[in-house]
Amino acid sequence: MSDEEDDIILSELDDEELVAQMFDDLYDGLKEEIEEGVNILLERKWEPYDILTKALVGGMTIVGNDFRDGILFVPEVLLAANAMKGGMAILKPLLIETGAPRVGKMVIGTVKGDIHDIGKNLVGMMMEGAGFEVIDLGINNSVETYFEALDTEEPDILGMSALLTTTMPYMKVVIDQMVEKGIRDNYTVLVGGAPLNEEFGKAIGADAYCRDAAVAVETAKEFMTRKHNQLAAG
C-alpha cells in the first residue's frame, strides 16, 4: 500500500468517501480498517442493515465479480472475506436487535467424506450478508445430519457443497432420501463445488447448481421470491 493511502484517516471522510474507502479496504483484505469503518458508520447513526448491505456486501460484490472474471484469485478473496467477517461480527448482534429484514433461512454443509469448506463458508457469509439466516453444519455431513437439521431448523433452503469428484455423488444420496421421505418439495436444494456443473445439478434432482457465492445468493433470492409469490397466489 502506498504512503498516501496509509495517511487516510477514515473518520475524516464523509459517508460517501468512507464507503468507497471501505470497498477498497475490503478488496485489499484489511480487516482492522473494515472494523473501524463499520464502527464509524455506527457512530454516525447508520442502520446496521445499511452498513451491511451498502458497505460490506457492496464491497464483496466487487470482489466476487473480479474473482469470477479472473482478476482476483482465491487468496485475495479469502482475505477480503476475512475482513468482511470482522465487520459482520460487529453487526450481527445489532442486526438481531434491530430486527433487520430476514429473506429466508438456509441450512448448509459439506457432504460426507469431504472436508473442504472454503467455498461453503464464502457462500454462508454472503448469504448472511444478503439477509438469510444461515445454519452451518460444517464438513463431512451424513444424510442423518442433514435431515436432523431440516427437522429442527425448518429452513427454506438446503445447501450442499463438495470439492471432490468422489464425494459429489453423495448429494444425490441425500436428495433421493428426501424424495423417499416425501420431503423433497418442502425445500429448495442448491448445490455447489468446484467439480460440479449445471448438468450434474439437474441429474441429481437439485433445484440449482451455483457456480460461486454470488450466484448462490442470487439464486436463493430468486427461489424465495417464487416461494412468496406462490404463497400469495395460493
Stretch that binds other proteins, among 6-14, 107-115, 128-136, 172-180 (CB under 8 A): 107-115
Select the span of 3-11, 50-58, 150-158, 195-203 touching other proteins (CB under 8 A): 195-203
Cα separations (Å) of 199 from 99, 195, 203, 206, 211? Answer: 39, 11, 6, 10, 12
Are 225 and 195 spatial neighbours (Cβ–Cβ below 8 Å)? no
* 61 or 140: CB nearest other proteins: 140
Nearer to other proteins, 41 or 213 (CB): 213
- Give the nearest distance from C-beta 11 to other proteins in angstroms: 27
Count of residues for the chain?
234
Contact residue for other proteins among 1, 74, 89, 96 (CB under 8 A): 74
Q: Which stretch binds other proteins (CB under 8 A): 40-48, 74-82, 123-131, 222-230?
A: 74-82
Q: How far is CA 169 from CA 24, 78, 193, in A?
A: 40, 27, 12
Taking the C-alpha atoms of residue 59 and residue 62, their distance in angstroms, rounded to an integer, is: 5
Cα gap 192→161, rounded to integer Å = 5
Residue of 20, 78, 135, 183 interacting with other proteins (CB under 8 A): 78
The answer to whether residue 156 forms part of the interface with other proteins (CB under 8 A) is no
Give, as ranges, the residues between 13 and 72 that touch other proteins (CB under 8 A): none
| Separation between Cα atoms, residue 195 and residue 204, nearest integer Å | 14
Residue type, 104: G
Least separation in angstroms between residue 139's CB and other proteins is: 6
Size of the site for other proteins (CB under 8 A): 24
Which range, of 114-122, 128-136, 149-157, 218-226, touches other proteins by CB under 8 A? 114-122
What is the closest distance, in whole angstroms, from the C-beta atom of residue 27 to other proteins in the complex? 15
Distance of alpha carbon 136 from alpha carbon 106, whole angstroms:
8
168 binds other proteins (CB under 8 A): yes
Contact (Cβ atoms closer than 8 angstroms) between residue 91 and residue 38: yes
Query: What residues contact 99, with CB distance under 8 A and at least 6 apart?
Result: none
Cα(227)–Cα(11) distance, integer angstroms: 43
Which C-beta is closer to other proteins: that of 90 or that of 118? 118
Q: How many CB atoms lie within 10 A of CB 49?
A: 16
Give the residues lining the site for other proteins (CB under 8 A): 73-76, 78-79, 82, 113-118, 139-140, 164-166, 168, 194-197, 200
